[in-house]
Each structure stands twice: as C-alpha cells, then as structure tokens.
Amino acid sequence: MRFSGHWIVGLDFPFRTIDEDFLNTMVMRRVDLRSDTVTKPTEAMRAAMASADVEDDVLGSDPTAHRFESEMARVMGKEAALFVPSGTMGNLISVLVHCEVRGSEVILGDNSHIHVYENGGISTIGGVHPRTVKNKSDGTMDLDQIEAAIRHPEGALYYPTTRLICLENTHANCGGRCISSEYTDRVGQIAKKHGLKLHIDGARIFNASIALGVPVHRLVEVADSVSVCMSKGLGAPVGSVIVGSREFITKAKRLRKTLGGGMRQVGVLCAAAYVALRDNVGKLEDDHKKAKMFADGLRQIKELTVDTSSVETNMVFFDIVESSLITPERLCQVLEEHGVLAMPASSTSVRFVVHYQISESDIHYALACVQQAVQELSTDGIAK
C-alpha cells in the first residue's frame, strides 16, 4: 500500500491524516465487514452471562429468560415473546404457526431472506408453498401485486390456500433499506381485508427504527408476529426473539420444542441478549453514519459505483463498473490479504456491513485497502 507523506495516494476526499503509529499498526489490522453477525460479546454481556440466574426454560421456570422475553414483548408492543436459537428458526416457527394446515401458501418477496437464505424450510418442513412477489429496489412489494397474488377461495380445489404475508425490515438483499410504518400499515390492511396474517422478518428492525426515527413498536403495530435478531447489530452472541399474541407464542413454544430449540438453562444466553437490548440500540445510529461515510469514500474510487442514497442503515453495496476486469471474488481475496473481510453480493457487486465494533479508523483503513486493491487488480488486468 503506497502513501505520500500523511495522505493516502489517489484518494481526494477528506481522510484523516496517517501518523507513524497508525502506519505501524496497519499490517496487523483486521476489519471484519462480512456481516454484523461477527460481533463479539462485550464484557458486560460476558459478566451478565456468568452471573445469570437460571432454571429449566423448557419447564417454563428460567427467571432470566422470562425477564428478557417480557421486556422484548413490552418494547415491541406485543403480548408475549419467545427466545429462539436463530432468526431462521424464528421465521420458520412463525410461518408454521400461521400456516398450520399443510398446503397453505405464504406471499413474500422474491429477494427476501426467508425465500432465499433459509434452506426452503417452510416448504420442506412445514409443507408451506411460497408465492413470490418481486421486491422493488427499496425492499417493498407492489401493493396491487400483493393483493393479486392472494388466491381466490373459489379456486381452493386447484390452488394452495393463502394464509400469510411476510415482509422484511430492514431488507437485507435490497441494501438494508427501511420499510416505513405507512407501507406496513397498508399491507396489514390488505391482510385483514382477506383474513390473512402478517409476519415481519425484523432481523434488523431496530436499525429501521433508528434510521426512520419511529418507535420500533409502531413499525410492527399491524403485524401478527415479528422475529427480531439479537446477534446482528445489537451484538449478542446468540439468539433471536419472536413476538406476538399469547396464543401465538403458546403455539410457537411447542414448535420450538419440536424443532430442537428447547435449550434448558437458556437464561445464560438471554442475559447477554438483555444487555444487548439495553446497551446497543443507541449505537446503531453511529453504525449508520459510518456506513454513509464508507459509501461516500467508495463513490470516489475509480472502477466502483455506489448509490449513496440507498445507504439508509448499516449496509453498503457497491458495484464494479461493467468495463472493469475486476471480479468481486478477486477483490475480496485481495482485501483479505490486508485484513479486510468482505463478501461478494453478486457477480458484479460487493457488500460491506458496519457494526458497533467497527471504528471510524477501521473505515478509513478499509477504504485505503479498497483503493489499493482496485489499483493493483486494474494494473494486473491491463498487464495481462
């Protein structure tokens, strides 16, 4: 990596100056931007786990789990909550509760996490048929298309029965875009009109709440169930929570046991999740600011294009220009050699995810590494 005085060569945006100590530590730096799932538990989380008061949660007697679930239900504005090992299990349980009859159908986005990244579990385990509607670039689906996808009762002899609509907020594959309460309300109205349920995959719902300046309970007010991940931007080591009515959670608890999610002294994990909820929601705004800083820097690097207006939360997607010889896979390989970890998002794009353990200094370092990697790969491509 080449430097000139105190400035990184080739970068014309306002970076911090580089002192000698910073230079000496650069070769040892590791900046993990693959996902906000890579966060490590804080000392406060570890202390809470070590001292957690626990019993058997499957028997319903773990006090720490009960305290955490009660708090999550209150924060989300729902009657009850249930801790589950993962977001995938949380979404699966929620869909199966709402679609108890095999052969039911759920309407969801074609680029949604449930449809793309959860092993087709709703179909293979629950016998639930997915009916996809195209996600727009902002993560929403066209309201008319949602309504048009609902099966008419007269076709019950031939078609699956529509029972559920799923939304995702923030929408990961669309760049961490936020779904507004107004849009969610309108989807909820469609669901109610047709006697359907509404589930929100709210893995990063607190990011949406902070970015939109709307209380989290308002974003999910019309939802019959919500799954919330504690181990992404909030930084807990393990777990998600599903919230809904008491009747819904009673059924969900039975399915959690069926799927192997009854974990006995789970208060050890709930203790860390409680700390994450208490301490880290307020840090998400800083993550969003650093993501925008990252996007602004990437936009000024030749060979890359970034839609900075789409960076609403902690995710940054950038494309490699069509004429470039650089591939996302090769760029990520070179970045890893400098300690910067990232993931290709497609055949032409790369994703960075900022979290609270990424400092502003890490952002500057990662940008410098991207600049250098692009220069190296472009030069190699021309030479070949």
User: Is residue 102 within 8 Å of residue 145, measured between CB atoms?
Assistant: no
Render pLDDT for 40-83 as a digit per residue (tens, 0 to 9): 999 999 999 999 999 999 999 999 999 999 999 999 999 999 99
Q: Are residues 256 and 292 in the same domain?
A: no
Domain match, 212 and 296 both: no
Based on the domain organization, do 267 and 288 belong to the same domain?
no
Q: Where is the domain boundary, 279, 310, 340?
A: 279
Do both 125 and 239 map to the same domain? Answer: yes
Give me the domain span that covers residue 305.
20-40+283-380
CATH for 359: 3.90.1150.10
Taking the CB of residue 28, how many other CB atoms lie within 10 A of it?
7
Asked whether residue 1 is domain-assigned, the answer is no
In a domain, 292, yes or no: yes
Q: What is the pLDDT of residue 7?
A: 35
**In terms of domains, do 63 and 138 share one?**
yes
- Which residue type, as a one-letter code, is found at position 274? Y
Does one domain contain both 305 and 195? no
What is Dmax (Cα atoms) for the chain? 75
Q: Which residue has the tokens 């709307």?
A: 214
- For the domain that residue 260 is a member of, what is the CATH number? 3.40.640.10
Percent of all residues in the chain with a pLDDT value above 70, rounded to a whole number: 91
Tell me: do 235 and 330 sit in the same domain: no
Are both 181 and 89 inside the same structural domain? yes
Q: Tell me the CB-side half-sphere exposure of residue 258, using CA atoms within 13 A.
A: 14
Residues 195 and 56 in one domain: yes
In a domain, 2, yes or no: no
On average, the pLDDT of the chain sits at 92
The reported pLDDT for the residue numbered 302 is 87
- Is residue 272 domain-shared with residue 312, that is, in the same domain? no
The tokens for 181 are 């309460």
12 part of a folded domain: no
Point out the domain boundary residue: 244, 279, 314. 279
- Is 174 in the same domain as 200? yes
pLDDT tens-digit series, residues 223-253: 999 999 999 999 999 999 999 999 999 999 9
- Specify the length of the chain in residues: 384
- The residue among 248, 279, 310 that closes a domain is 279
Per-residue CA distances from 283 to 67, 130, 351 (Å): 23, 36, 21
Residue 19: which pLDDT band, with cuts at 50, 70 and 90?
very low
pLDDT in tens, 271-307: 999 999 999 999 999 999 999 999 999 999 989 999 9
Task: Give the mean pLDDT of 171-200.
Answer: 98
Residue 14 lies in a domain: no
pTM for this one? 0.91
Q: How confident is the model at residue 3 (pLDDT cuts 50, 70, 90)?
A: very low
- Residue 14 banded pLDDT, cuts 50, 70, 90: very low
| Domains held by the chain: number | 2
Verify that 50 and 35 share a domain, yes or no: no
> Per-residue DSSP letters for 240-308?
EEEEE-HHHHHHHHHHHHHTT---SSTHHHHHHHHHHHHHHGGGHHHHHHHHHHHHHHHHTSTTEE--G
